[in-house]
Structure 1
């Protein structure tokens, strides 16, 4: 049986989801949620939500899907224990350190891997399943065939998104908001820079990174046949009317009764110029994007054909009702419709398509295109579905028995419970009737229940106060809710940090995909080179050409590995046979492959190592620490792990990686017909501040967007030395090979002297700083993230 999983940003949205047919809801607490700007639920509201949902047989999943710092990890674990104890059905997580602690402390809690874990291949799914993850939320970038292949070859449950906003980057691998504004998407605070305007290579400004919302209403049966267990609607930031409308449409699609009206309602409630099936059916070119407007378009209402004073005339392309909201397309200027006049000047309540009407819209002018961004009738219907008199309630059977010794109420519903109470009296005048008892017990009011039938057995001549009948009803429903909540045993969590010893002088690591840079780096003092990574079109050479350096040069396997998995596996086998013994790995699925081949594996930054428990989750030789940590946080993490640690000291931070190519798409091509317009060179996006973010494409038509600034830490060697890390890493992209060698030499010299207490800069270091003074950043070293 497939599950329809709905979002809930607050309790009203939760009710909207359940009463319109959701099988499960996912909610965020006010602690550690990846939607920190949603309403979210405090602890008491979470308990109330579990009780309400379980009354309807609906499951509750709580998102704890942010990366965690050392000073948060114990509180997060205690919070997870609270959720488990109070009946939450599953926990959705991102942090791999938290995964380790959950398995050690709350062994029976069902764990789901968030899409923030960037899992996109079968091997990644199966590895997480082996680590105790029951369900994996796949990356949104997969095709239907790729999803089906995973479903058919794993015991893990698979969850996929079916509707709502798309991230243009692989989730969990985006630092755009973090780097430019300090608001980390990995911490639930994304500022959505992808919804801003950019120009490509100084071209016209567009919303180049803004995709339409995902839509699969006509394809639900295909996803079910593929083996997907849970169909997930995105939208914890959306209003309850949106949740009600979209959940209803997908419930009807799953049940095989979807109508044209359902589809139209889903369009009207929110769209960005239509919808897209995105990667499910290879629609990842311009058809996927909303270049003209990144916000809700609504539906076309018509063009302003005349203006008199503050009023405009429109020939309607859609019906118009009082209370609708209108907006001038692309300008963000809107008005509510408070009055409508027909062509004869009569005030009317509504108008139909084809009518000419006059409305108040002071800021509109002749020729403006108006869209209806809020449909008052739709909003009204949506609200009635979860707060009207006819909302769905759970039927109960009641059996009431009263004697002079007391009364008992048995309730038969999702569970069976009994409540006894005294307070029965001998009637002095008028005995209590069966009808009066049924009337009192039936007043379930705001509870999720109603009595379908109440059987009453009553001795003669008894008087039962109404207050006692109300009390037994309240206690019965409260006990039923308690039973349905399914509270579990108390959990006491326990964590212990390691203590790190002083390391020797850190070693220099270089990451590159170019032979010329690798050789220059080795010549100038690099201790290790990890070669390869993403197969960028600008890269040159093969690691096999560096075989003579195999005691210092090792392969690097990237964060995203989809259709090329077999290629990389064969490559890893060949390189192991040639004598390469170590590897840097960014992909959770490929990690296990390398381990099984006998490599000493270093974890790359794709693993998002933000706390001291992450390094111990997997077997590894060392871990690349997150670039989102500041100096004090790095020092704290390093001091509490015995694993080798790698710290970023030079290079352009990759802001995002996408299966969508903005270069080809902006020129009208999709992946299926693009003549490789990227031309093996660096392109760039320019923002409103004039900053240029470099774009490099790879052989699989994925795009990699890099920071406009270069992180250079030569002035801060003293702070770097104080970290006590095992390695310093430098990443080179499009630099000149000679310059790359000079950078390595400058860092090597500064490191050697700094380790002896001399923090002065060499002339070479001063020259590098001077030549790059207008494009240097310190990244998060001194500011960090929220």
Structure 2
């Protein structure tokens, strides 16, 4: 069975999802959810949510898909134990360390890997399965062909997004909101800077804002992929949206999709239409919502005349009193009231009519969109809060006989049954109980999810049972059935204590870059060199040339690996054969391959190492600590792990990787007709503060956005070293050779001094600090994220 998985940001949305045909819902508690701006569910509400959903045989998955700090791990485990005890069907997570602990403390709790874990190739999915994950939510950047390949070759259940908002970045790898505003997408607080205006190639637009995904019209193709679950995005959306979209996808899956379903979904929310994203081909400008990042609604018509604050409109669609109308992209809108046609007030107008209504600020010629449809909203509301909402049929059996306990059994359509016993009935002096009276009392189920459809009774003709007692039996039986359906489990006590390790002192300086010219110029200043990373068009050379020149360089594998996977594996085999054994790896899938070849592995940023348990979750020599932790949190992490740790102390912070080419799309082109508009060079996105963020294309037409400033901890290196971190990473991207040499010299001097327990501003260090001057950021070292 193909599962339809719906979002629920609150109890109303949950009911909207269930009553419109969802097979499962995913929701967040008020603790550790990746959608902190949603209403979310407190613990009592979670219990009610599970009871309600399970009554309808709908599964409940709870998101705990944020990265966890050391100080939060015990609380998160206790929360997971609570979720397990109340019958939650699965928990959705991002954090590798948390996954490790869940398998230890709650081995029977089903775990799903969030799309925040960036699983986008078969090996990554298989690795997660090996770690105890039952289901993997795939990255939204994959094509149907890529999904089918994974599906046919994995042991894991697969879940894919089929509708809703798209992140322009690979989820779980975006630091844009975090770096710009301190609100981390990995912590559920994304401020969506991607939905803001930027200037690229002197063109101001919403260059990073994609349309929403919709797959309604090719669900049949998706059915053939072999995936287990189809996911609708939208925990921030209102319940009417959930009801509308879920009912449409239910119809599509059941082969009953109509034109009106598509029209309703378009009306309820769209950003200038929809996109199929990367499912069929790499889309260009047609994937983006350049003019407006919010809901567009549907085209209504143009203003043909203005009199004061009233407008006359020639309609090209139906309009009702209570509909929301906006002047496109001007921020001017109104809920239609007192609409007139030929001087008479009307409630409803048709396409082709000319009508008048109040809309202050509009001008002749303005384009109007209908942003909300009152009839659609009312129809959606009726589906989850109306008088005739979907209820679950139950059969009842009651036995009322002299000198025997009264027996009441109820059974729902899913086969779940409970029995209730009560004291024997009294002998009737007059007016004995009748089957009609029993049915009347047992049918009073309106305040429950159930409706009585069939009653079987064994009834002596001279007994009496008070109506109050029948009502009490009914309530008790239904409560017992709901309790049974909830599926409570035994409570698990969490006794988590993290072992404290001894602090290390000696530091190594490590160079990481994809530029051979820089490695050749500065390698002598570094203890280790890792070369490669993303195949950026500005990078140059190859690792074999460096090795042939006598430079000991080790491979560096980036966090995103798609088309290039086989090429990377072949290169790693070659390097293994010539004695190269150490790899800096950011990709989960390649990690699995490296383990099979017995490489020594350092974990890069793709693994999001946020706590000490994550350093121990998989076999590794060491790991890069997340750039979102502050110095105090880093120190706490280091003190609780025996693994080597690395800190990023110089370089531009990569804020996102996108499979979309902003550069080509801004010129109206996609990869299919790409004329290398990028010219193999760096481009710049300029924000409203005139900060310029580097956009660097790679050889696979993915775009990489880097911070406008350079993280440089040269002046504060003592603070970094006092965390106990072992290795200090210097990363070069767009520096000149001369600048790279000066920076390398300065860091070498600084590390040598600190290893000798001294530090001062030398001439080289002072020169570099003055050279960088206002280009420097300290990242999160002193502020951190919430």
State the TM-score, normalized to the length of structure 1.
0.98
Q: Deviation per CA, 1:741-769: give whole Å up to 9, x if none.
A: 22122112112222333232111111111
Mapped to 2, the partners of 1:769 and 1:464 lie a distance apart of 90
Secondary structure at the counterpart of residue 612 of structure 2: coil
* 1:489 CA drift (Å): 2.0
User: 1:396 is matched with which residue?
Assistant: 394
Tell me, yes or no, if structure 1 residue 713 matches structure 2 residue 716. no
Mapped to 2, the partners of 1:562 and 1:494 lie a distance apart of 41
Secondary structure at the counterpart of residue 715 of structure 2: helix
User: 1:305 is matched with which residue?
Assistant: 304
Conserved in 1, the CA contact under 8 Å of 2:56 and 2:392?
Answer: yes
Conserved in 1, the CA contact under 8 Å of 2:301 and 2:313?
Answer: yes
Q: CA RMSD in A?
A: 1.3
Q: 1:379 aligns with which of 368, 371, 377?
A: 377
Give the count of matched residue pairs: 783
Conserved in 2, the CA contact under 8 Å of 1:505 and 1:752?
Answer: no
Conserved in 2, the CA contact under 8 Å of 1:198 and 1:685?
Answer: yes
User: 2:564 is matched with which residue?
Assistant: 564
Conserved in 2, the CA contact under 8 Å of 1:87 and 1:487?
Answer: yes
* 1:520 CA drift (Å): 2.5
User: 1:579 is matched with which residue?
Assistant: 579
Q: Deviation per CA, 1:414-471: give whole Å up to 9, x if none.
A: 3111011238444455433322221111111121111101223333343322222221
Q: How does 1:637-656 map to 2 (within 5 A)?
A: 637-656=637-656
* 1:268 CA drift (Å): 0.5
User: 2:513 is matched with which residue?
Assistant: 512
Conserved in 1, the CA contact under 8 Å of 2:396 and 2:409?
Answer: yes
User: 2:244 is matched with which residue?
Assistant: 245
Mapped to 2, the partners of 1:44 and 1:377 lie a distance apart of 34
Secondary structure at the counterpart of residue 27 of structure 2: strand
Tell me, yes or no, if structure 1 residue 199 matches structure 2 residue 199. yes
Conserved in 1, the CA contact under 8 Å of 2:219 and 2:252?
Answer: yes
Which range is displaced more, 576-585 or 396-405?
396-405
Conserved in 1, the CA contact under 8 Å of 2:282 and 2:672?
Answer: no
Q: Deviation per CA, 1:503-524: give whole Å up to 9, x if none.
A: 241100111011121123213x
Q: Deviation per CA, 1:635-684: give whole Å up to 9, x if none.
A: 00000000000001111100000000100000111011111111111111
User: 2:261 is matched with which residue?
Assistant: 262
Which range is displaced more, 492-501 or 7-16?
492-501
Conserved in 2, the CA contact under 8 Å of 1:423 and 1:468?
Answer: no
User: 2:472 is matched with which residue?
Assistant: 471
Q: How does 1:162-177 map to 2 (within 5 A)?
A: 162-177=162-177
User: 1:107 is matched with which residue?
Assistant: 107
Mapped to 2, the partners of 1:317 and 1:151 lie a distance apart of 45
Mapped to 2, the partners of 1:549 and 1:631 lie a distance apart of 38
Secondary structure at the counterpart of residue 217 of structure 2: helix
1:551–1:677 Cα change, 3 Å: closer
Conserved in 1, the CA contact under 8 Å of 2:282 and 2:660?
Answer: no
Secondary structure at the counterpart of residue 654 of structure 1: strand
State the TM-score, normalized to the length of structure 2.
0.98
Conserved in 2, the CA contact under 8 Å of 1:527 and 1:552?
Answer: no
* 1:292 CA drift (Å): 0.2
* 1:614 CA drift (Å): 0.5
User: 2:523 is matched with which residue?
Assistant: 522
Mapped to 2, the partners of 1:174 and 1:79 lie a distance apart of 26
User: 1:729 is matched with which residue?
Assistant: 729
Q: How does 1:105-504 map to 2 (within 5 A)?
A: 105-201=105-201, 203-342=202-341, 344-405=342-403, 406-413=405-412, 414=414, 415-422=416-423, 424-504=425-505
Conserved in 2, the CA contact under 8 Å of 1:276 and 1:287?
Answer: yes
* 1:234 CA drift (Å): 0.4
Conserved in 2, the CA contact under 8 Å of 1:584 and 1:603?
Answer: yes
Conserved in 1, the CA contact under 8 Å of 2:67 and 2:610?
Answer: yes
Conserved in 1, the CA contact under 8 Å of 2:64 and 2:93?
Answer: yes
* 1:716 CA drift (Å): 1.0
User: 1:75 is matched with which residue?
Assistant: 75
Gaps of 5+ in 1: none
Secondary structure at the counterpart of residue 317 of structure 2: coil
Q: How does 1:39-78 map to 2 (within 5 A)?
A: 39-78=39-78
Q: How does 1:551-700 map to 2 (within 5 A)?
A: 552-700=552-700
Mapped to 2, the partners of 1:228 and 1:766 lie a distance apart of 57
Conserved in 2, the CA contact under 8 Å of 1:159 and 1:230?
Answer: yes
Mapped to 1, the partners of 2:754 and 2:215 lie a distance apart of 58
* 1:548 CA drift (Å): 5.1
Mapped to 2, the partners of 1:65 and 1:535 lie a distance apart of 30
Mapped to 2, the partners of 1:619 and 1:388 lie a distance apart of 55
